[in-house]
A and B are shown apart, each in its own frame.
Chain A
Amino acid sequence: MDFGTALVAIGAGIAVGMSAIGSGIGVGIVGAAGAGAISENPRRFGTALVFQAMPQTQAIYGLLIGILLLVGAGLLGGDTGKTISLSVGLAALGVGIAVGFAGFSGIGQGIAASAGVGATSEKPDMFGKGMVFSVLPETQAIYGLLIAILLMVGTGLLGGVSELLELTAGLAAVGAGIAVGFAGFSGIGQGIAASAGVGATSEKTDMFGKGMVFSVLPETQAIYGLLIAILLMVGTGLLGGISKLLELGVGVAAIGAGIAVGFAGFSAIGQGITAAGGIGAAAQTPATFGKSMVLSVMSETFAIFGLLMAILIMFGSGLF
């Protein structure tokens, strides 16, 4: 087994292992709320189960990618005896990081879904709206999944033929994974805001729209991560089929870009907390809607710094 294949195995491990944390904790939070709901009204069991299923998706995405990685590298069925170059192996690490760490959004989904369980057990017609709010933090996981799949397609791990990949591209793939994976933590912020949205909407039905708007604010960080990941992939030719010839240093710099925007994604947790407060304020005094939005958007500034830095790194190192 060559080193590249071994790296793919590590990537698969990261994919499943990390996403399990997010899903596990998230599902646990909902389960606790569900137990509480059932003790009030035993008929709520079905509802509790449905809400509890929501944070599970992150782990499923992780498992999916893990299996696809193993199959693609010939470790599980598929085409055994393939040679995986070091750069493709590195890209596999990026794949695992992308979907694995984005799985932490499951914690956010758990927070939102547990509010959904509570609201639905009080008012059964909150079910639909509760589900809508609970699905919001899933976006981060989907972005992680998307980048993971794109990387696999671009490196040939998915599709059968292992492309000859420059080492730079492999390193850039790690950067892309970090960018979208760690930005996935913004799902926690979204979950906090969404749970406040559920609460406000169950009291006042017309808070639904405003609650949604606030809850979506922390998603921006994930979008920045997605953007940088895509740019890294396009710049190194991982997306588009043609491997560009670039210095090794550019690939290493790409990891820096990924760290800049990825970790800046944690600022969404702060944004989520403010947004949650904003929802409460707007529910009480509708006139505060605009100003609360302004307050909520402040935390985003730091994410923008991260985004800016990532872009500067990419341009400065000669990726574009």
Chain B
Amino acid sequence: MKKLKLIVLDDYKDVLIKELHELGIIELKIVPTTKSSDTTHLGKDVVLTRNKVDEKAKELIALLMRVNTVLDIMRLSESCNQKRFGFSAQIEAKKIEDMPYTQIIKDASELLDLTEGHLKHVRTSLEDLETRINDYRSQIQILKKLKQFDIPLDYLGESRHTYITSGELPTDNLSELTERDTSSYILTRTDGATATAIICTLKENKRKLQSTLKRLNFQEYLLPKVPRTPGVLIQEYESEIRDMKKKKHDLLNEITDMSSRYKGDIQIIKELLEIERARSEVTGLFGRTERTLYIEGFVPEKKVDITLETLKKLSGYSVAAVTDPEEAEEDIPVLLDNPRPIKPFEMLTEMFATPKYNEFDPTPLLAPAFLLYFGIMLTDAVYGLIVSILGITVIRTLGKMNPSARDLGIILTLAGASAFIWGILFGSYLGDFFSPKSGKEVAIGTALTHITIPPLWVDPYQKELKYNMSPVIVILLMALIIGLIHINIGNLIGLRKSLNRGNGKEVTSHLWLILFQLGILPILLDIFGVISLGQIGTVMTQGFIVISLVLLIYSQGILGFFSITGFMGDSLSYARLLAMALATGGIAMAVNILVKMVEGISISGIKVGILLGIAMFLVGHIFNIALNTLGAFIHSLRLHYVEFFSKFYEGGGEKFKPFKVVRTYTILKR
């Protein structure tokens, strides 16, 4: 990363910003000014002040707000016919000429005049209708409760001699009501915990009744005083609601109509406004003198030449200088620079943490190991093929619009290829489809095609011994050895890092592990009878262990004990490679067994079994692919994040974010 410093005459600042924005390879940083004020004295009476963002920004923000409102209203009509899972249709970018600022503002205002007023009006009407519909609905709820009493609503309230009220109260209080108030005529209907009641009493008793009701938690219904019974009123309201719904529908159609005419243009103008705003706001990072602007930023080393080329267009009005960055490491943005095959895997490293500037980038190590682990864990040639095809599909569809989707697609394609290879090695093609397991049984695939495919290396489920060991043990040992290698690579990287830093304790905290392994591994091999340590061997290994423990306590104190258990845990963790491989093969086997069992079923002579079997086959294997692909992916990641990275990786860097123009709806004609 190099530091770029620019000075430009303020008349040409717009041209410069536009060039930098379209070039999109420089991260602009705020210009350092003294803490007490926004000014710095650069000697010879040259004063640098923080540049103020110009008025354009306010105008742009106001316009953008209005444009966003218009788009929001247009979206109201879209929620009915919506895209699933956010896969929007392919956006066709429109080629446009470079437009001056004033032109953009003019076009935006015009578009808004055509659409804004009308759409806002429609929206208000819609909201209005919605409120009224809800009002009617709640009234209907209440009316339904009174429906059975069939009393015209204008009876309610005060009349010449009587006072009638309707409402609801808790059922428990109902008996109290009838006891206390003997002078009223009460109609009730109980509905669980609440009871609806219509109470009629003489006008003189109104006060007394009201206070009784208040104590009993009576909630009065507010109803219109119309000469219609609840039943009739409900029907009236329902027809009103139908009418209003129809009106809503018509209004939404209006929106759809406007949307189809103007949405495309609005999206384009919005993008242009956003671009102008970004360009306007970025000026707040600059410093200014009387006639010039001072700009600072970071540019990747490889892009320095093209940057200077582009800036030649402004020679005479600007001056550029490229230097090595002077800041502390934390402030220098980080751009990972890996060769093309490794690049897609950067997203996996960065998901954990972006490396610090000048820290070791683990991505080149992560890529092959990830693929290896994925392959061992998914272990099926056919599944691997399907995953690869899936990966290629992702690259061709989502990947066109979204760079991280494209990276994921590439990772999947490669991972699937790895699983394909390991599937061949383990002889797993849809599980045991082509290789009979228990001596007498014929595998389904073999029965259909007369092909038996033996494993290229070893099948974990086979009976025959390999290298005089159970095949499961062979793979377990392979997994553990891979794990030990991986852990040690991580440890060595950590060791080199601590040597570079010259931190004695840190160095010992890496060294102890090496010595510990030199001691304990031969002892374990001796216990299991693989080798036999003579006298010298025993003394040496024990010596190694003792020294390693001393180093451990020196570097980490008593808590170092947890490093021993940590190491044990880390190495055993790689046993999951075997576990996942067995899991994939096992579930595939179970699916095949079920298919075989179901095959023979026939209901009243019709061989339903075959159809059932095919269905079960498809569902079962697709499920297995989904489950174990996800599992293999995540566990491969986890082995890196936890067992590998923890040995040396710190991260905490800031990712490089260039000042780059964002265009989805437009392409600039140059």
Give the B-binding residues of A (Cβ under 8 A): 46, 57, 60-61, 63-64, 67-68, 71, 76-79, 124, 128-129, 131-132, 135-136, 138-139, 142-143, 145-146, 149-150, 153-154, 158-161, 206, 208-209, 212-213, 216, 219-220, 223-224, 226-227, 230, 234, 239-241, 294, 297, 300, 304, 320
With known contacts A131-B634, A220-B565, A159–B590 Cβ distance under 8 A = no
With known contacts A79-B438, A131-B634, A209–B472 Cβ distance under 8 A = no
9 extra interchain contacts, Cβ-Cβ under 8 A, other than A124-B86, A240-B469?
A142-B631, A146-B578, A153-B470, A209-B645, A227-B572, A239-B473, A240-B473, A241-B470, A300-B562
- A-chain residues with CB within 8 Å of residue B575 when the two chains form the complex: 143, 146, 226, 230
| B 575-615 binary contact with A (CB < 8 Å = 1; else 0) | 11011101100110110011011000000000000000000
With known contacts A159-B463, A208-B351, A213-B646, A57–B627 Cβ distance under 8 A = yes
- Interchain CA distance A53-B627 in the complex, whole Å: 9
Please state if A145 and B470 are interface contacts (CB–CB under 8 Å): no
Partner of A139, one of B463, B576, B586, B641: B576
Residue of B nearest to A320 (CB): B527
Please state if A64 and B587 are interface contacts (CB–CB under 8 Å): yes
Please state if A160 and B469 are interface contacts (CB–CB under 8 Å): no
- A-chain residues with CB within 8 Å of residue B646 when the two chains form the complex: 213
With known contacts A71-B593, A213-B642, A226-B575, A300–B565 Cβ distance under 8 A = yes
- Interchain CA distance A270-B461 in the complex, whole Å: 38
Please state if A153 and B437 are interface contacts (CB–CB under 8 Å): no
- Interchain CA distance A153-B465 in the complex, whole Å: 12
Minimum distance in angstroms from B331 CB to a CB of chain A: 16
Please state if A223 and B573 are interface contacts (CB–CB under 8 Å): yes
- A-chain residues with CB within 8 Å of residue B559 when the two chains form the complex: 294, 297
Residue of A nearest to B594 (CB): A67
Q: How many residues of B contact A (CB 8 A)?
A: 55
The answer to whether B369 has its CB under 8 Å from any CB of chain A is no
With known contacts A77-B597, A135-B634, A146-B575, A154–B470 Cβ distance under 8 A = yes
Please state if B572 and A132 are interface contacts (CB–CB under 8 Å): no
Partner of B472, one of A57, A71, A153: A153
- Interchain CA distance A207-B582 in the complex, whole Å: 33
Please state if B439 and A223 are interface contacts (CB–CB under 8 Å): no
Please state if B583 and A142 are interface contacts (CB–CB under 8 Å): yes
- A-chain residues with CB within 8 Å of residue B621 when the two chains form the complex: none
Partner of B461, one of A46, A138, A153: A153
How many pairs of residues, A versus B, come closer than 8 Å at their CB atoms? 133
- B-chain residues with CB within 8 Å of residue A208 when the two chains form the complex: 351-353
- Interchain CA distance A276-B637 in the complex, whole Å: 21
Please state if A76 and B642 are interface contacts (CB–CB under 8 Å): no
The answer to whether B651 has its CB under 8 Å from any CB of chain A is yes
Partner of B579, one of A46, A76, A146, A227: A146
- Interchain CA distance A226-B85 in the complex, whole Å: 40
Partner of B572, one of A124, A131, A226: A226
Please state if A145 and B351 are interface contacts (CB–CB under 8 Å): no
Residue of A nearest to B462 (CB): A159
Please state if B597 and A76 are interface contacts (CB–CB under 8 Å): yes
Task: Show 5 A/B contacts (Cβ-Cβ < 8 Å), sorted by A.
Answer: A64-B590, A208-B353, A209-B641, A239-B470, A240-B470
Please state if B437 and A159 are interface contacts (CB–CB under 8 Å): yes
With known contacts A146-B579, A213-B646, A136–B638 Cβ distance under 8 A = yes
Partner of B569, one of A132, A136, A220: A220
Minimum distance in angstroms from A157 CB to a CB of chain B: 10
The answer to whether B80 has its CB under 8 Å from any CB of chain A is no
3 closest A-B pairs (Cβ-Cβ)?
Answer: A160-B438, A146-B579, A135-B634
- A-chain residues with CB within 8 Å of residue B248 when the two chains form the complex: none
- Interchain CA distance A30-B579 in the complex, whole Å: 26
User: Residue among A132, A136, A146, A206 with the most chain B CB within 10 A?
Assistant: A146
Partner of A142, one of B86, B580, B589, B645: B580
| B 439-476 binary contact with A (CB < 8 Å = 1; else 0) | 11100000000000000000001110100011011000
- Interchain CA distance A219-B643 in the complex, whole Å: 12
Residue of A nearest to B465 (CB): A241
User: Residue among B441, B528, B572 with the most chain A CB within 10 A?
Assistant: B572
Please state if B473 and A206 are interface contacts (CB–CB under 8 Å): no
- B-chain residues with CB within 8 Å of residue A160 when the two chains form the complex: 437-440, 463
With known contacts A128-B351, A160-B463, A241-B469, A149–B586 Cβ distance under 8 A = yes
